[in-house]
Structure 1
Amino acid sequence: MNTEFKRLVLVLFLGMLAGCGLITDKSSEGYQNPVLPGDNPNPSVVLIGDTYYASATSNEWSPLFPIYKSDDLNNWKLVSYVFPGGAPDWAQQNFFAPELSYDEKQGKLYVYYTGRDKSNHKITIAVASADSPEGPFTDHGPLMISDNIETIDAFEIRDDNGDLYLIWKEVYFPGKPSVIYAQPITEDRRRVYGQKQELIRNDQEWEEAIVEGPCIFKRDDFFYLFYSAGNCCDIACNYKIGVARSKNLLGPWEKYEANPILSDNETWKCPGTGDVFKQGRNYFFLFHSYKTIGGDYIGREGLLEKIYWTDDDWPYFMFKSKLDSENHRIDYFDDFSKALNPCWQWRATQTLSYATGENGLMLAASTENDLLGNLLAQPVKSMDFEVTATLDLSNSGQDVNGGILLIGATHNGFGAPMAGLGITAGHDLIEVWITSGNEKHIFEAVPADPYGDLIKLRMNVKKGDRLQFSVSDGKKWDVIADSIDASGYVPWGMGFRWGVVSKGETNEFINIQNVELRNY
């Protein structure tokens, strides 16, 4: 993606951030979970003045690392992105675990994050900064912690002397211990120095092969280290939160004998990786978790829980959170008459070409994204919903097909190629199809002529993975394909996305006049 386009997208996104709020109603406790509905893994939160700011993992979807804003921890509004124009030049994928850290003395917000380096193909920690939490952000690139290892899950904290440390972990490799380290870092956050110091490793049975996602905070005489352990992200996840404490940042660290302190309840499963903050005399934890039923389809959502304390100063959780049925039901309509709404996402490796205006969206066709085409997508926030789109074929290219789809992956493993199930219309045919592993299979196809140039397409999703596709000329709906099973295409760790697609030669466009999502 060229520099001119990145600059254009930055201007558009900073000017058009209305309409992407995550608005919920307060409970008697002041918040309702999920406070960050939809795919928001590894949330980080920081208080600047009287306002809270949060971010979350982007995985493979640009714009990278959302910046949410809230005055009450319950109603969050998307106000910016760390990288609104897409991936920084040095990185290509695996955009994980942003960590927000505000330096009050400097008046600057730092964001640690993880990406895969194009030059050596290693996952590494990098850092960006901004004078305002709403951006624009300047990328400072990878932190050169080591040439021989991959690093992830950055967190910063000062010791009792005021010295600044970066907390991080090595990417796990089978057969090796999983270790969380501390290492001094310069005040400009550009360079680590000195020796790394081991804090903890996976030496307890419940932790299994991995400890990660460190978060350290100070309360009275102790530093407390929250960490995640187990399997984080696929259908067989068993993630949990443990805690260790120490009177000195560099240890020795004592793990709590009652670990894990946060695990599944009836509504939520696989809790992990987040941030602790203080409000008055109370401490709270913002973290992610899957819904027990259907969470694999939606992804890891942001939850908020109060921390309680034992008589001997160990933290624990009640974790009685239920799901508020209204909290995640966010309907959406877009006629694309203004600049592209920042709710829309695209693949970090995708070359995006589009125009918006009074005729709607003109989305350039392509064969990118493992032959799926040019995509604009949004995270799924419920298991039961309906998407409709109106296409104007008279204003579209002759050899282009466009429509709506559910986006997943070929399997549930890390790094799996993309897959999509959708319905598209062209001048000749309306097709219901699946594209997986660069291969396309057509479930059903009907002639486009009977429906005219102004065609309506519909995708119904039930129970997270049962799909029905229909077409209309504006008078009645004809079901083209029913009961298509999408359960085998759940992507690793991020849930499905729904979106619009344009398939064909790159010099042609599909005209999508509007799109609407309604949750049942």
Structure 2
Amino acid sequence: MKRLLFVILLTIMGCCGVHVQAVGYEKIINPVLPGDRPDPTVIEINGEYWAAATSNEWSPLFPIFKSKDLVNWELVNYVFPDGAPDWALNNFWAPELSYDEKQGKVYLYYTARDKRTKRLSCAAAVADSPMGRFKDLGPLVAQEPGSIDAFAARDEKGKLYLIWKEDGNSMGLPTNIWAQEMTEDRTRLIGEMTSLFCNDTPWEEGLVEGVCVFKKQDYFYILYSAASCCDKKCNYKTGVARSKSLLGKWEKYEKNPILVDNQDWRCPGHGTIVRKDGKEFYLYHAYNRSGSVYVGRQGVLEELCWGEDGWPYFRNDAVYNRPNLSLDYVDSFKGNTLAPIWQWRVTQKIDYQTGKNGLHLGASMENRELGTLLVQPVKALNFSLTATVDNRKSMAAAGIGIIGGAHNGFGAPLAGIGISVLKDKVEVWKNVDGKVDVLAQSAITVSATAQVRMTVKDGYWLCFEFRKGQRWIPLATEIDASPYVPWGMGFRIGLCAKGGDGTFADFRKIELIH
């Protein structure tokens, strides 16, 4: 029934003048990657499109999506399904897919922090296909200020180069975009580093980063981002530079920036160019104006146009036109494994079983006493999340919550607000960096199942209820979660299982309704 309503709604949108951008025979319905999907990358292989996005601290790492039209995407794989590579600590950012047609292999370049040096590093992984199992090749470069946002490109003679940003802004220094030749097996850099350009114009402010290199006719072009990317005060924007040779000299466009805030989207940048039907499209991230930081940086698709002066430009006409009902999600956990949408902290190994009785999730006191977290990105401002739990035998608190950070700063400790059931009691709690406060509680009847619900309004106003017979009983209302939205990512929502070693929480069903 919902699918029929979705089709009807799309038809109404087309008939009533709602702005829908054309992509060949398809329509752009933005965001094409809803929810927190920063730094999106996209490639085409034999008529199919593959995308990936930043994971931050949530495992499995680096989700891979598949599409036939650049608009409708399915989450199909992860680069590191078993958790972080041995050398890497955290900050799993900026994946960049690359297809080597001659080798028939797919490479992924990514950023992570080295456990030993604590430096941000650019690394690589390889697989036979985007659906395959990736082998980590380890770090390629790790400068003292940090090295991030790797991109691979071949020069005019076919030599392979790694291009990346030196994270000088983290130490109050200028930021350089570097290039250095790379071996064909992507295991090391060779030769000398060359600086392509740095942040030397006023609009770029403290940094340049997030480069994407592509060639058209006689020129190499670089789309790059500048200024502040990732919080409530962001002013991110995108510029372009060009050169007839990969190592330069690079010329920045006098009309930069070419992609800026519009009516629906703000702080656009760090994406990848892909070609379809003879046109170029840019898949990038941006905050929806109404959703702001609470939803996070979503994947937006927009056509790249060309002026008579030979420079590219954007119309800046991307709109938010995705129907909310397309974001609904229901899971009874009856399959052989978890659905791909679910993630957990990269620092934790989870224990679970799925089947006819639902989800049997191992509890813990990890994650600063939030317990075991099984979450997914928030995709809209207004929604309800309902969980049906079995409270008859469990020795762990089974609940749902919204997960963020203790403050909106880089590297903030975890924070969460939620509602949990433990046998004959239901309680609403707030946990900020391990400090737990009980906001409300009530006695309930021990039975086969208990139901709890969290309703979110405007992205951060929370209401918690439990079901008694046919009625929903409010337990805590108008709780403000806005101070806890994490830097660089939107909220996560999902399941929380808190208890001692060897205890489990049993979930029969969850329903996410927008």
Q: What TM-score do the two structures reach when normalised by structure 2?
A: 0.93
The code of the aligned residue for 1:230 comes to A
Deviation at 1:278, TM superposition (A): 2.0
Match of 1:230 among 218, 222, 227: 227
Distance 2:401 2:157 in 1: 55
Distance 1:277 1:208 in 2: 28
Is 1:164 aligned to residue 160 of structure 2? yes
CA distance 1:149–1:493, shift in 2 (3 Å): closer
Q: Residues 210-253 of structure 1: CA distance to partner in whole angstroms, max 9, x if unpaired?
A: 10001111111111111100010011110000111111111111
Deviation at 1:395, TM superposition (A): 3.3
CA contact (8 A) 1:155 1:214 kept: yes
Deviation at 1:193, TM superposition (A): 0.8
CA contact (8 A) 1:101 1:109 kept: yes
Deviation at 1:434, TM superposition (A): 0.5
Match of 1:514 among 484, 506, 509: 509
Q: What TM-score do the two structures reach when normalised by structure 1?
A: 0.92
Is 1:475 aligned to residue 473 of structure 2? no
Aligned to 1:259: 256
Root-mean-square deviation (Å): 1.7
The code of the aligned residue for 1:130 comes to A
Matches within 5 A, 1:221-300: 221-300=218-297
Deviation at 1:357, TM superposition (A): 1.5
Aligned to 1:5: none
Distance 1:241 1:147 in 2: 25
Deviation at 1:325, TM superposition (A): 4.1
CA contact (8 A) 1:347 1:375 kept: yes
Aligned to 1:353: 351
Deviation at 1:510, TM superposition (A): 1.0
Deviation at 1:360, TM superposition (A): 1.0
SS in structure 1 of the partner of residue 463 of structure 2:
strand
Match of 1:492 among 487, 492, 506: 487
Distance 2:375 2:486 in 1: 14
Matches within 5 A, 1:129-278: 129-143=126-140, 145-146=141-142, 148-172=144-168, 173-278=170-275
Match of 1:308 among 294, 299, 305: 305
Q: Residues 389-434 of structure 1: CA distance to partner in whole angstroms, max 9, x if unpaired?
A: 111111312xx21110011111111110110000001124211010
Is 1:439 aligned to residue 435 of structure 2? yes
The code of the aligned residue for 1:443 comes to L
CA contact (8 A) 1:469 1:480 kept: yes
Distance 2:455 2:411 in 1: 27
Distance 1:248 1:265 in 2: 33
Distance 2:309 2:143 in 1: 43
Match of 2:42 among 5, 21, 45: 45
Aligned to 2:391: 393
CA distance 1:146–1:300, shift in 2 (3 Å): closer
Figure out how many residues of one structure are paired with residues of the other and give that number: 494
Aligned to 1:375: 373
CA contact (8 A) 2:330 2:511 kept: yes
Is 1:341 aligned to residue 336 of structure 2? no
Aligned to 2:382: 384
- Consecutive unaligned residues in structure 1, runs of 5 or more: 1-21
Distance 1:286 1:64 in 2: 20
Aligned to 1:14: none
Deviation at 1:334, TM superposition (A): 0.9
CA distance 1:129–1:503, shift in 2 (3 Å): same
SS in structure 2 of the partner of residue 206 of structure 1:
helix
The code of the aligned residue for 2:341 comes to C
Aligned to 2:364: 366
The code of the aligned residue for 1:277 comes to V
Distance 1:308 1:458 in 2: 46
Is 1:455 aligned to residue 450 of structure 2? yes
Distance 1:111 1:325 in 2: 29
Aligned to 1:11: none
Q: Which runs of 4+ in 1 moved over 3 A?
A: 22-28, 146-149, 450-453
Distance 1:370 1:124 in 2: 27
Aligned to 2:88: 91
Distance 1:508 1:337 in 2: 21
Distance 1:342 1:440 in 2: 30
Distance 2:371 2:479 in 1: 21
- Consecutive unaligned residues in structure 2, runs of 5 or more: 1-5, 15-19
CA contact (8 A) 2:392 2:446 kept: no
SS in structure 2 of the partner of residue 431 of structure 1:
strand
Percentage of identical aligned residues: 51
Distance 1:147 1:198 in 2: 14
Is 1:59 aligned to residue 34 of structure 2? no
CA distance 1:474–1:335, shift in 2 (3 Å): farther
Q: Residues 54-103 of structure 1: CA distance to partner in whole angstroms, max 9, x if unpaired?
A: 00001111111111111111111111110112111211210000000000
Distance 1:166 1:474 in 2: 62
Deviation at 1:493, TM superposition (A): 1.6
Distance 2:176 2:137 in 1: 26
Distance 2:128 2:79 in 1: 12
The code of the aligned residue for 1:167 comes to I
Deviation at 1:108, TM superposition (A): 0.1
Aligned to 2:17: none
